[in-house]
Structure 1
Amino acid sequence: MTSFARRWATAAALALSVVVAGTLAPPAAGATPAYPTPLPDPFLAAPADIATKAPGDILATRRADTWLLPGSEVWQIKYRSTNSAGQPIPAITTVIKPVGAPTDMPVLSYQAIVNSLGLRCAPSAALFTGEIKDVFGLPLALAMGWAVAIPDHLGPNSAYGAARLGGMITLDGVRAVKRLPELRLSNSPVALAGYSGGGMATAWAAALNPTYAPDVTLAGVAQGGVPASIEQMAAGLGLANQHPGFGLGFAAAMGLEREYPDRLPVSSQLKRRGIALRDELKDECRSMIIAKGLFHSVTDVANSTSLLQDQNTLAVMRENSLVEYAGVPTAPVFMWHGATDELTPYRSVVETVDRYCKAGATVEFVGYPIAEHMTNAVVGLPSAFMYLKDRFAGLPAPSNC
């Protein structure tokens, strides 16, 4: 099975099954979350006074090597953001802009597809190693002549699966970009874009914008292939033994435990084999997570296979599912999805769009008759970027509510 959508949907189901095991069995050794190994880079560390800073405040900056992007200047900004418990955290965004670009040029915050647990897999590191293979959106954004900011939207613990966290990190990244004088972007129009996991961070940023960052004005948002309900994905798929997507599911459980250690004690319910696999995956990127997860199943690693029964589990999954969040974007939104992609539930996306429309949001929604998840990205991104180009030009946003 090669479909990215099927792997992602299975990931949610398997993650839930591992998490729910926590209510049904005694704990094992190695019960604390397995956090990623810190990179030997002092730039990434949180300063001692981070609690005194406001969200989006700049903590440090540096220039990055541009050999991969001739004719561009690359900056990395460390800034203060917020985790799911409301605590201050350091976050990183990487900004790419043409050398000699005009002041206040359009800025796109592009949330790349990152399905990983290791810090070396985050865009701030992986953009320069080839690990990030988001071959659709980033080159297109740069070709449009915009400045592009790519945040590490999984946060300092690489909390894969924590979608709300990604929204806050994205918004604070926009704040930081506009606050750095050297970039000359303080009055730039800003838009957001992302697909799949990057679409989750983008969609959450748009929905949180009115309450979490009302000072951030967005010209437009393009979000595609958004997994709007992790619960619906899991319930619709069920469980499979030794599924090829098991590694991603296990990684999602680990990522959620990292973000919610007091509410999702995943590690406390793993067998010795599960602890060993957890420790083997904790610093890996997408390809190796999939490879090392092969020939494993829930029963191999956890003490139970119960699913969708534990209220703590359901609460966390719903807190990270867009369809459950009452907030409505105030920025105009272009949203696209595969209309026959049942594994990344179309129904939850339609429900979200319907709620946005009833609340008076400006939404253009396109459902393509395509089942394969990444094919939908290729088909929809050109229209999405033309939509954002028109928003940067100040044209009225269309709506098909």
Structure 2
Amino acid sequence: MSAVRVFHMEVQMFKRKTGLMCRMLLVWMVAGCVTKNTSGPSETTAVRGDAVECKVTRSLSLSSILFLLDESGIEWPYAPQYGIQAYELIYWTEDASGLPIKASAALILPDRDGLFDLVGIQHGTEIKRTRAASRDPLLTGEGMLGILLASMDYAVCVPDYPGLGISEAMHPYVHASLGVAVADAMRAAEQTLETMKNQVHLRFLMGYSEGGYATLAGQKAIESDYGDQMPLTGVIPMAGPYDLAGTMQTLLQNMDYSHPVYIAFLLTAYNRIYGWNRLNDFFLPPYAAQMESLFDGTRSYSEIAAVLPPNLEALLDSSFVEGCLDGTETELLETLRENSLLNWRPRAPVLLIHGDADEVVPYMNALSARDSLSQMGGTVSLVSIPGGTHQSAALPAFLEAVSWLKSLPY
């Protein structure tokens, strides 16, 4: 449940250490933005996973990508081969209530046509609606990772999720409905590639933090809803909260937990999704009255963190905390168990990656997922990053993920 976008978190130098945003001005002058549009099915005929519109948002030459990579200081072991084009893909999916909505994703392609392996990259915690890869992949870390993978000859889909990008709904934070949005984005991406006279060979999913959760939820939804049409080859969830009830109880044992925004986001999102009207039960005043406006999609993580107290003790009602720890807070705990991702059988191989010193999303999530999904009959392996915190393990995790992709004998 990281507040820093997937790749942005592990390579902060893109925005902080190297001042990349300033350097991007040169690339923008070279590459520019393109405004060509292509349209898909009409609203009257669209169904889940149908592409509605696809427009180019950015073109980057190979030399521009090499420049960005050099300026970042990242030791990226894979040489870019192609320039890329990035698209804003709008598609039909469902919200957490099962109602049809339009959502957006970034589709990033190498500058060639033909047969592609399609990789879905799910991003970590994002709260501000406009920080979306669909608007421009250079705005987000997972968008930048998508550029690098596309330059390595993959087709890449980066879903914004409901509540981000073009969607104005409240984001269903670490909720199982994210899997539907991921599955439908992959279907829309494949449909769009076919419209462009391209074809998809193999399909993969990966993501870190909330993106790890969304990746595993996406696998479950794809294999349930589109399994025969879109068989997955491999899935790589990283540092995700797959055991939501266990994670909540673990984090509440330490009231000094220094990332209260994540807990506040989850409780506020679930309160909205399930119509509980229980913010006063969860939060102490004055915070209970502020939650809906804080998480309305207009504020960033840092802006919200500046309003909330620095730990859980000053944020959460003590009776609520006690109920979570002793099991009497049944409404929330049962709902979290329903949205956990432990009790199903994955078809495609799953590679879990997690830092064993993760202070944000407890490492026990990876152990629980490995053991439970294996017992359900899945092919599941775990790569642990020794001493890896939520931030320090992120770049090694992505490098391990890309290495696994390239090592598969297909």
Q: What interval of TM-score do these two structures reach, taking the shorter chain for normalisation?
A: 0.7 to 0.9
Q: What is the aligned counterpart of 1:330 among 340, 347, 364?
A: 347
Q: Note if 1:319 corresponds to 2:330.
A: no
Question: Quick one: which amino acid aligns to residue 321 of structure 1?
Answer: S
Q: CA deviation at 1:208?
A: 2.8
Deviations 1:315-364 (A, max 9, x none): 221222222xx222211221112234375333342232223323432223
Which runs of 5 or more structure 2 residues have no equivalent in the other structure? 4-36, 66-82
Kindly indicate whether structure 1 or structure 2 has the higher relative contact order, using CA contacts under 8 Å at least 6 residues apart: 1
Aligned mates of 1:195, 1:269 — CA distance in 2: 27
For 1:104 and 1:292, locate their aligned partners in 2 and report how far apart those are by CA, in whole Å. 49
**Contact 1:199/1:225, CA 8 A, preserved across alignment:** yes
- Per-residue CA deviation, residues 68-89 of structure 1 (Å, 9 max, x unaligned), is 9763212222111123332222
The corresponding residue for 1:398 is none
Equivalent position of 1:122 in the other structure: 132
Q: Distance in 2 between matches of 1:218 and 1:75?
A: 23
Tell me the secondary structure at the aligned position of residue 96 of structure 2.
Answer: coil
Deviations 1:367-386 (A, max 9, x none): 23224112222222222112
Question: How many aligned residue pairs are there?
Answer: 343
2:234 is the counterpart of 1:224: no
Give the corresponding residue for 2:105.
Answer: 93
Q: Once the 2 structures are TM-superposed, how far is the Cα of residue 230 of structure 1 from its aligned partner? A: 2.1
Query: What amino acid is aligned across from residue 127 of structure 1 in structure 2?
Result: P
Amino acid at match of 1:313: L
1:236 equivalenced with 2:245 (yes/no) = no
Matching residue's letter, 2:113? P
In the TM superposition, residue 48 of structure 1 has moved relative to its aligned partner by 9.9
RMSD: 3.3
Residue identity in the other structure for 1:145: D
Task: Specify the alignment match of 1:289 in structure 2.
Answer: 304
Matched to 1:256, the amino acid is: Y
Q: Label 1:66 to 1:348 Cα distance change in 2 as closer, same or farther (>3 A).
A: same
Map of 1:241-256 to 2, 5 A cutoff?
A: 244-256=258-270
Residue in structure 1 matched with residue 93 of structure 2 by the alignment:
81
Residue 382 of structure 1 corresponds to: 399
**What amino acid is the match of 1:163?**
H
Matches within 5 A, 1:334-345: 334-341=351-358, 344-345=361-362
Give aligned-pair identity as a percent: 21
Determine whether 1:275 maps to 2:283.
no
User: How far is the alpha carbon of 1:194 from its aligned partner?
Assistant: 0.7
Please give the alpha-carbon distance, in whole angstroms, between the structure 2 residues aligned to 1:379 and 1:161.
25
Q: Which residue of 1 aligns with 2:123?
A: 112
What is the CA–CA distance in structure 1 between the aligned matches of 2:375 and 2:259, rounded to whole Å? 37
Equivalent-residue separation in structure 1 for 2:305 and 2:105 (angstroms): 26
The alpha-carbon distance between structure 1 residues 340 and 48, as it changes in their structure 2 partners (threshold 3 A), is same
Q: CA 1:236–1:297 in structure 2 vs 1: closer, same or farther (change >3 Å)?
A: closer
> How many Å apart are 1:172 and its aligned residue?
0.8
1:149 matched to which residue of 2?
Answer: 157
> Amino acid of the residue matched to residue 59 of structure 1?
V
Name 2:70's counterpart in structure 1: none
Matches of 1:311 and 1:102 in 2, distance apart?
Answer: 53
- Structure 1 Cα separation of the partners of residues 368 and 289 of structure 2: 38
Shift of residue 262, structure 1, vs aligned partner = 2.1
Distance 2:216 2:330 in 1: 25
The one of 204, 212, 226 equivalent to 1:213 is 226
Verify: 1:171 aligned to 2:183, yes or no.
yes
1:284 is displaced (CA, Å) by 1.2
Query: Are 2:120 and 2:158, in contact at CA under 8 Å, matched by a contact in 1?
Result: yes
Question: 1:277 deviation in Å?
Answer: 5.3
Gaps of 5+ in 1: 6-42, 395-401
Is contact 2:351-2:382 (8 Å) kept?
Answer: yes
The one-letter code matched in structure 1 to 2:378 is: A
TM-score by length of 1: 0.74
